[in-house]
């Protein structure tokens, strides 16, 4: 079974492929270019035309546009930090033709720190107002846990300040780095700071150094699961329904979990109300068939480790630890489309270098 072709090529008309999208764009690019260059009626004459076409390709495509110079419009396509959509954004831009007067960019790029400055909710976010320090945890030495300090921090405005800091980091570090390089982030003011403050303009260098150390330590690490032990767990939920789980407990004791920091979670929903929240036999078989197809594509030797699954209360959750998120994003998306008329499936990613979210399954 081979799944890694254009994920939109099956089950969609040709109008929904990358090439068809760019063919449509080329038909209208002169009008779009003039609209952005003149800055008039951009929403009606460009945004409202582009948005539905992007929606036909994939949910979650967003965009930012503006003049790069006097003659060039830059169109930045972004999933707004949604990890599972990043690969599709990148592929769409890779498929773009060369069009004079246009620059197409996948994911919001990193800016010079002077250009990353923003004002929001009455606060400034820039080199003058922001600093940081790193929180080190001996038990989790590879975790990047940052505290960002805002000079004018007020607890009453914590939500607004936190939002502004995230937007600033998105601009300063770039969209990909802002979601992939930092594991944990907290926000405070100077009085509550617990360490010496580091100027925010040194954050990029700090993250590059930490990433280099991480790659040197873990790059190329692989794990084989064929001889592992799988344990079954049974529990009762608060509503009285049963929970059943099957977990690779040998894998959970691996001492280099951080080499596979991206956790893929897949949820399959079903109607189990007549069976105490458990699926009927036909649904069991269909879910197992889907999971077998997934395991065929996401192999442990390639950096995709099946941690296990749990079934309860009208839902099965499947867990993988991955070295990267691009291939599994495509594989899962494609398989969901293949089974769209038979199973209700959704998925997501989060970063958990030490697999803390699976401590509940460890046998101590």
Pairing of strands 73-78, 102-106: parallel
Tell me how many degrees the CA angle 118-204-142 measures, rounded to the nearest 5: 125
Find tokens 């246009």 and name the residue: 102
**Same domain, residue pair 234 and 354:** yes
- Do 239 and 348 have their domain in common? yes
Specify the pTM.
0.91
Average pLDDT over residues 31-51: 95
C-alpha to C-alpha distances, 54 to 18, 147, 269, 296, 304, nearest whole angstrom: 10, 37, 27, 30, 30
Same domain, 42 and 75: yes
Q: Is 90 in the same domain as 154?
A: no
Q: E strands along 163-294, which residues?
A: 184-188, 198-199, 230-236, 242-248, 262-269
Using only C-alpha atoms, the chain has a radius of gyration, in whole angstroms, of 23
- CA 31, 36, 39, 42 torsion: positive or negative? positive
Domain CATH number, residue 255:
3.30.70.100
Q: Which domain holds residue 342?
A: 230-361
Q: Closest by alpha carbon to 76, among 167, 175, 7?
A: 175
**273 and 317 housed in the same domain:** yes
**Would you say residue 174 lies in a domain?**
no
Contact between residue 133 and residue 195 where contact means Cβ atoms under 8 Å apart: yes
**Beta carbons within 8 Å of 22's beta carbon, 6+ residues apart:** 95, 96, 97
Are 87 and 27 contained in the same domain?
yes
Tell me: the pLDDT tens digits for 53-65?
999 998 899 999 9
Name the nearest CA neighbour of 101 among 124, 126, 133, 73.
Answer: 73
pLDDT at 339 over 80: yes
Tell whether 46 is covered by a domain: yes
pLDDT of residue 364: 64
Q: Please report whether residue 318 resides in a domain.
A: yes
* Rounded Cα distance, 227 and 133, in Å: 43
The predicted-structure confidence for 239-272, as pLDDT tens digits, reads as follows 999 999 999 999 999 999 999 999 999 999 999 9
Together in a domain, 197 and 100 = no
* pLDDT over 50 at 227, yes or no: yes
41 with 133, same domain: the answer is no
Q: Are the C-beta atoms of residues 279 and 295 closer than 8 Å to each other?
A: no
How would residue 13 be classed by pLDDT, with cut points 50, 70 and 90? very low
pLDDT of amino acid 268: 98
Rounded Cα gap, residues 259 and 329, in angstroms: 18
Same domain, 296 and 331: yes
Sheet of strand 344-351: strand arrangement = 230-236, 242-248, 304-312, 315-322, 262-269, 344-351
Domain-embedded: residue 149: yes
- The neighbouring-strand residues paired with 134 are 146
Q: Is residue 172 part of a domain?
A: no
**Residue at 136 is within a domain:** yes
Residue 201 has pLDDT above 50, yes or no: yes
Give the C-alpha separation, 326 to 329, whole Å. 5
How many structural domains comprise the chain?
Answer: 3
Question: Reduced to 3 states, what is the DSSP secondary structure of residue 299?
Answer: coil
Which pLDDT does position 219 carry in this prediction?
Answer: 87
Within this chain, do residues 202 and 317 fall inside the same structural domain, yes or no? no
Kindly state the tokens that stand for 157: 């405005």
Instruction: Mark whether 201 and 304 lie in a shared domain.
Output: no
Task: Say if residue 211 is in the same domain as residue 238.
Answer: no
214 within a domain of the structure (yes/no): yes
Say if 282 falls within a structural domain. yes
Coil, strand, or helix at residue 11? Answer: coil
């Amino acid at each position: 079974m081979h799944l890694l072709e254009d994920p939109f090529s099956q089950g969609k008309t040709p109008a929904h492929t990358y090439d068809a999208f760019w063919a449509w764009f080329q038909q209208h690019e002169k009008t779009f270019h003039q609209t952005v260059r003149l800055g008039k009626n951009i929403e009606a004459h460009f945004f409202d035309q582009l948005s539905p076409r992007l929606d036909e390709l994939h949910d979650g495509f967003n965009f930012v546009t503006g003049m790069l110079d006097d003659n060039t419009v830059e169109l930045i396509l972004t999933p707004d930090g949604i990890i599972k959509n990043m690969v599709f954004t990148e592929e769409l831009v890779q498929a773009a033709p060369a069009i004079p007067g246009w620059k197409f960019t996948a994911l919001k790029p990193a800016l010079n720190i002077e250009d990353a400055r923003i004002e929001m909710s009455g606060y400034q976010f820039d080199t003058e107002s922001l600093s940081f320090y790193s929180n080190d945890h001996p038990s989790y030495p590879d975790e990047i846990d940052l505290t960002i300090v805002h000079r004018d921090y007020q607890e009453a405005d914590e939500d607004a300040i936190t939002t502004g800091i995230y937007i600033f980091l998105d601009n300063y570090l770039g969209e990909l780095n802002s979601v992939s390089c930092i594991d944990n982030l907290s926000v405070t003011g100077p009085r509550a700071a617990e360490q010496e403050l580091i100027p925010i303009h040194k954050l990029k260098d700090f993250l590059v150094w930490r990433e280099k150390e991480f790659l040197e330590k873990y790059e190329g690490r692989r794990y084989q699961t064929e001889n592992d032990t799988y344990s079954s767990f049974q529990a009762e939920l608060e509503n009285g329904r049963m929970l059943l789980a099957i977990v690779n407990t040998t894998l959970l004791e691996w001492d280099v979990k951080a080499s596979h920091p991206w956790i893929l979670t897949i949820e399959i929903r079903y109607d189990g109300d007549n069976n105490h929240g458990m699926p009927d036999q036909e649904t069991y078989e269909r879910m197992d068939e889907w999971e077998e197809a997934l395991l065929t594509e996401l192999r442990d030797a390639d950096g995709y480790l099946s941690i296990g699954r749990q079934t309860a209360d009208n839902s099965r959750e499947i867990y993988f630890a991955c070295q990267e998120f691009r291939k599994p994003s495509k594989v899962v998306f494609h398989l969901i489309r293949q089974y769209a008329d038979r199973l209700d499936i959704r998925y997501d990613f989060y970063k958990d270098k030490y697999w803390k979210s699976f401590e509940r399954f460890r046998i101590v």
